[in-house]
Homo-oligomer: A and B are copies of this chain.
């Protein structure tokens, strides 16, 4: 029994961790498999390729489905808390990666249904989570997190502006010029404010073009807001690396200015 547990621990280290040689090799193989299988799903959706190489892609699909199924079962078996894994984000992604193929055996599924398999691409993040890129990602996420409230206010403001301007344009341009309804006009306002500018709907009247110009210059200018928020947050984070993480011996407080001689909280000499 101990021998079995030993073996289970070893497999756990290989597929869940990355600090052993085998663990790294497994990660590389996993990333390759994921990329190849995602690539196969993509190619399969191209009609011309599907018509010519459909059978090959069918085989490739089943190869990866079985591979990932085995991986899933092993992951469940070697995990000391299997239920926690199954209902975790990555556990559900792992399941969604293989289920559609099996279901398509019983219910002749349409292409649309099989697209769910594209979530496989998210599995790469699990591997990356273990790499040294995670430090950078966390740094960015923490900056995004501290600017969350400001960004929410900004987004709410943008959506309100789009609603108002969209409604105004619905009245001015009217259904004849493509602004057939308020939701569609709001869609136009978002396309314009974000400077995407498809051109599928565009103002035709002089006054409509004047208002559109205002919307564009507004959108062009207020992009400064999310950029400014995030940049300022990031800059202050980078600078705060100029605020040390030395902790005071007496009150345990951290975050002292570089070069500080005394704790700013209790006055003890650092």
Could you list which residues of chain A lie within 8 angstroms of chain B, going by C-beta atoms? Answer: 38, 41-43, 45-47, 112, 115, 118-119, 121-122, 124-125, 128, 133, 136-137, 139-140, 143-144, 149-156, 158-160, 163-164, 167, 170-171, 174-175, 180-184, 186-187, 190-200, 202, 206, 209-210, 212-213, 216-217, 219-221, 223-239, 242-243, 253-257, 259-269
Contacts of A232 in B (CB 8 A): 231, 234-235, 237-238
Contacts of A175 in B (CB 8 A): 47
Q: Are A163 and B38 interface neighbours, CB within 8 A? A: yes
Given the interface pairs A196-B216, A269-B267, the reply to whether A140 lies near B153 with Cβ below 8 Å is yes
What are 27 A-B pairs with beta-carbon distances under 8 A? A42-B183, A47-B180, A115-B170, A115-B171, A115-B182, A140-B229, A151-B221, A184-B209, A187-B210, A192-B196, A194-B216, A195-B220, A223-B226, A223-B227, A227-B227, A227-B228, A231-B234, A231-B235, A236-B242, A243-B257, A253-B259, A255-B257, A255-B259, A257-B264, A260-B264, A262-B262, A262-B263
Contact of A206 among B183, B210, B212 (CB under 8 A): B183
Distance A89 CA – B221 CA, assembled complex (angstroms): 25
Give the distance to chain B from A145, nearest Cβ to Cβ, in Å: 13
Given the interface pairs A45-B182, A118-B167, A183-B45, the reply to whether A230 lies near B228 with Cβ below 8 Å is yes
Give the distance to chain B from A75, nearest Cβ to Cβ, in Å: 22
Contacts of A181 in B (CB 8 A): 42, 45-47
Given contacts A190-B213, A255-B257, 5 further A-B contacts (CB under 8 A): A46-B184, A195-B197, A220-B223, A261-B266, A267-B269
Q: Are A234 and B228 interface neighbours, CB within 8 A? A: yes
Given the interface pairs A183-B46, A236-B242, A269-B267, the reply to whether A221 lies near B226 with Cβ below 8 Å is yes
Each complex incorporates copies of this chain amounting to: 4
Q: Are B231 and A216 interface neighbours, CB within 8 A? A: no
Q: Are A136 and B149 interface neighbours, CB within 8 A? A: yes
Contacts of A263 in B (CB 8 A): 262, 264
Given the interface pairs A190-B216, A196-B216, A257-B257, the reply to whether A121 lies near B163 with Cβ below 8 Å is yes
Q: Are B217 and A155 interface neighbours, CB within 8 A? A: yes
Distance A8 CA – B268 CA, assembled complex (angstroms): 56
Contact of A137 among B46, B153, B202 (CB under 8 A): B153
